[in-house]
A and B are shown apart, each in its own frame.
Chain A
Amino acid sequence: MEVPASFVVVSLLLSCFVGTSYGVYFSSLNKTLIVTATPKQGQVLKAGEDKITVTWRFNKTYPAGTDSSYKTIKIKLCYAPVSQKDRSWRKTVDLLKKDKTCPHKIVARPYAASNNTFTWTIERDIPSAVYFVRAFAVNAEDQQVAYGQTTDAHKSTNLFEVQAITGRHVSLDVASICFSAFSIVSLAGFFYMEKRKGKK
C-alpha cells in the first residue's frame, strides 16, 4: 500500500525538477540601441512630480539589417545593484522570463531607427530606489532581441535616485486618532458602568 504511493510521489517530484529553461537570455543580446535619459548621475527626482525624458536610436556602427526583426521598443525603469541588495524580489537573473531587474514600464513604441523621444512623469507607485533606464527591442513574437541602457555593463555609472511619495495623509492620521480614542473611551466607559452597577 505504501510503496506505490511513495513511488508516485517521488516520480511526480522528479518530473517537476525538469524546469522550463527555454527563453531568451540577457547575455545573448547585443547592445545595439543607444539610450539616453535626462537625469544626471546622482540626481534625485520626486515621484509623481518630476519628469524623465528618454531618447533612443539604433547604433549605426552595427551592420545594416541587424534591426530588421525589431518590431517594438519597450522602455523600462530598472533597479541599480545597490537597490537590489537584500531584496531578492528584485534579483537579476540571466533568463529574462525570470528577471526582476526592470519591473516598471515607461513606454512601448513601434520601432524606428532614430528620432525617438518620450517624456514620462514618474508615477506615484514607483518606490524609493536608485535606477537606470533600459530599452528592449522586441520582435514580432514578443521576444527580446536587443537592448540598450543609460548605464555601463556593470550598472555603476549614470544612476539616478527616485524619492517615492510616503502615501501618508493628514486626513488618514486624524481619522486614525479619532477611531483609536473611540475604542479606548468606550472600553473605559463600559468598565466603569459595570463597576458602578456591581457596587449597587
Chain B
Amino acid sequence: MPEIEGSPGTSMHGVTGREPVLAFSVASPMVHMDHNAKFDLPVDSEHKATVFKLFSFANPHMRTFHLSWISFFTTFISTFAAAPLVPIIRDNLNLTKSDIGNAGVASVSGSIFSRLVMGAVCDLLGPRYGCAFLIMLSAPTVFCMSFVSDASGYIVVRFMIGFSLATFVSCQYWMSTMFNSKIIGLVNGTAAGWGNMGGGATQLLMPVLFEIIKKAGATPFTAWRIAFFVPGWFNVIMGILVLTLGQDLPDGNLGALQKKGDVAKDKFGKVLWYAVTNYRTWIFVLLYGYSMGVELTIDNVIAEYFYDRFDLQLHLAGIIAACFGMANLLARPFGGFTSDYMAKRFGMRGRLWNLWLLQTAGGVCCVCLGLVNSLPLAITFMMLFSIGAQAACGATFGIIPFISRRSLGIISGMTGAGGNFGSGLTQLIFFASAPFSTAKGLTYMGLMIIGCTLPVSLVHFPQWGSMFLPPSKDIVKGSEEHYYVSEWTEEEKQKGMHQASLKFAENCRSERGGKVASAPTPPNNTPGHV
C-alpha cells in the first residue's frame, strides 16, 4: 500500500486511502500521540513535539527552536543597529529630521515585501533554506554601512538591511512544523519574543561597541562604521549554523522528503488564493501592524527621544531604549502563554479577548508615554506599553496557526508584512514629518493603536465562535474538519492531499475550550471509508 502524505509536517504511518482511518467518532480534547516515533521529546501523530523543553538542544525540535530564534535575533540587531547611534550618524552624514524619519521608514519597509516572499518560500522550499539564504545575503548590506557618506546612501542601506527581518516568517513557520498546536502559542511567542529582543539588545550593544572602538583610538565618525562589522559577522555565523545544524521538518529536510514522495508539493497559486480570500488574514494583517508595527517604530525612535527630550547621554538613552526591546524576553512569551491559558477555559473566544485586552492596554500606555514630562514616569509608561504591545504580538501568533492549515506560511508572511507596513506607516505619519514633535507623535500613535485593535471583534470561526458570537450550531459547518478541509477541492481530496488538514483538525479540537463533549462525526469526511 503506497503511503500518501499531506502537506509538510505530517507523518502518516500506515494510513492509506483504503484502510479504515483513525476513528473520528470520539472527539477527544486529547492529542493523538505517536508513541513509536523515536524522538527526544514526546510527539504527536504529525511528529510535532507536545512538550517544550527550554534548555535542551536536542535534535530536531529544540535545536530548531534555538537556531530559529537566534537567527531572528541577529536580524533585529542588524536592522536596528543604526537607531541608538543616530545622534552620531546624523552629525557625520548631515542628516535632517526627515532624513532620519525616512531611514526609519525604509528600515522596516523592505521586509514588507520580503516577508511575503518568505511565506511562499517556506511553503515551497522549506524554512531552513529560507532563513539561511536571507541572513547570509543580507550580511553584505550590513557591511555596506562603511561606505555611506550622505543621507541617500544611509536610507538605501537601511532599506536593504531591513529585508532580513523576513526571518520572522521562517522562524514562526519552523516552530509550527515542529511543535503541536496546544503549545504553539507559547512556543511561537517565546521564539519570536526572544528574536525581537534583538531590537533591545542592539540599543545596548551598539553604543557600547562605539565607546570601546572610540577608546581604542578611532574618531567618532569612523568608530560607528567599524561598530557595524559586528552585526554583519553575527549574520554570517548564524547562516552557517542554520545550514549545518538545522532541518526543515521533524522527519528530515524538505527536499529529501519531497523526493522520497513523503511530502506532496503544493501549488503556490492555490496556497495564495486560500490565504487572500480568508477575511481573517486581513484583520490580522491590520492588527499586527499595531502591535509589532508600533514596537518596530519605537525601536527606531525611542533612544533619540530620550536623548533629546530628557537630555540623557547616548549610552544612557541606549540603556532605556534597550529595556523596551528586552522586555520581549518575557512579555511576548507571556502573551502566547495567556493565549494558551485562556484557550484552555474559553477556547478561541478566550484567545481573541486576550489579544484585544493586551493590545488596547498597550495603546493606552503609549498615549501616556507621550504626555508625561518626567523621566521616571516616561520609563514606567514605556515599559507598560512594551509589555502590552509585545504580549499582543505573542497572542496574535497564538491565533494565526488556526486561520488556515494549507496556507499557514503565506498567512504568517502576510501578517508579518502587515507588522512592517504598520511600522512604516506610523513612522511616516507621526515621526518623519516636521510638524509633530516626537512626544505628540507617540500620543497620537497610541490613539491609533486603540482604534485599530477594535476589528478583532469581527474575527469569527464557525467551529469556535468569536468575541461576542457563539459557534455555529450546524453539525457539519461547526466542525473543525469542515473548516480546514474546505480549503481543498474534491479532486485534491481524492488524491488524499487534505490528510494533513484532517490531522490538524483532530489535534486542535481543544480550541473549543472548557469541557469538550464528544462532537458528532461529521459525515462524508472520512476518505475511502469501507
Chain A positions within 8 Å of B, measured between CB atoms, are 9, 12-13, 16-17, 19, 85-89, 98, 124-125, 127-129, 164-169, 172-173, 175-177, 179-180, 182-184, 186-187, 190-191, 194, 198
Contacts and interface: CB of A to CB of B under 8 A. Distances in A.
A98 B373 CA distance: 14
B175 to A, nearest CB: 23
B520 to A, nearest CB: 44
A104 to B, nearest CB: 10
A65 to B, nearest CB: 35
A128 to B, nearest CB: 5
Given A167-B222, A168-B146, A198-B256, 8 more contacts: A89-B90, A89-B304, A124-B219, A124-B220, A125-B220, A127-B92, A169-B222, A186-B240
A16 B221 contact: no
B19 interface: no
A180 B255 contact: no
**In the complex, the 5 A-B pairs of residues with the closest C-beta atoms, listed nearest first:** A167-B221, A180-B140, A127-B91, A86-B96, A16-B374
A128 B95 CA distance: 10
- Chain B CB count within 10 A is highest, among A17, A85, A167, for A167
Contacts of B256: 198
Contact of B87 (A12, A89, A164): A89
B31 to A, nearest CB: 34
Nearest to A89: B308
A168 B308 contact: no
Contacts of A194: 243
Main secondary structure of the interface of A (DSSP, over half): helix
A172 B146 contact: yes
B483 to A, nearest CB: 37
Contacts, number: 118
Given A13-B371, A124-B219, A176 B149 contact: no
B372 A172 contact: no
Contact of A164 (B92, B96, B243): B92
A164 B236 contact: no
A184 B255 contact: no
B229 A86 contact: no
Contacts of A17: 373
B371 A125 contact: no
B245 interface: no
A187 B90 contact: no
A198 B258 CA distance: 12
20 contacts: A12-B377, A16-B374, A19-B373, A86-B97, A88-B308, A88-B437, A124-B220, A164-B94, A165-B221, A167-B220, A167-B221, A168-B146, A168-B222, A175-B229, A179-B229, A182-B236, A183-B136, A186-B240, A187-B132, A187-B137
Contacts of A176: 143-144, 146-147, 229
Given A164-B91, A184-B137, A187-B136, A88 B97 contact: yes
A200 to B, nearest CB: 12
B309 to A, nearest CB: 10
A183 B374 contact: no
A172 B225 contact: yes
A16 B147 contact: no
Interface in B68-111: 87, 90-92, 94, 96-98
Interface in B248-266: 255-256, 259
Nearest to B145: A176
A137 to B, nearest CB: 23
B377 A180 contact: no
A178 to B, nearest CB: 9
A13 B146 contact: no
B226 interface: yes
A168 B225 contact: yes
Contacts of A128: 94
A168 B147 contact: yes
B419 interface: no
Contact of A180 (B133, B139, B372): B139
Contact of B221 (A164, A190, A198): A164
A128 B92 CA distance: 7
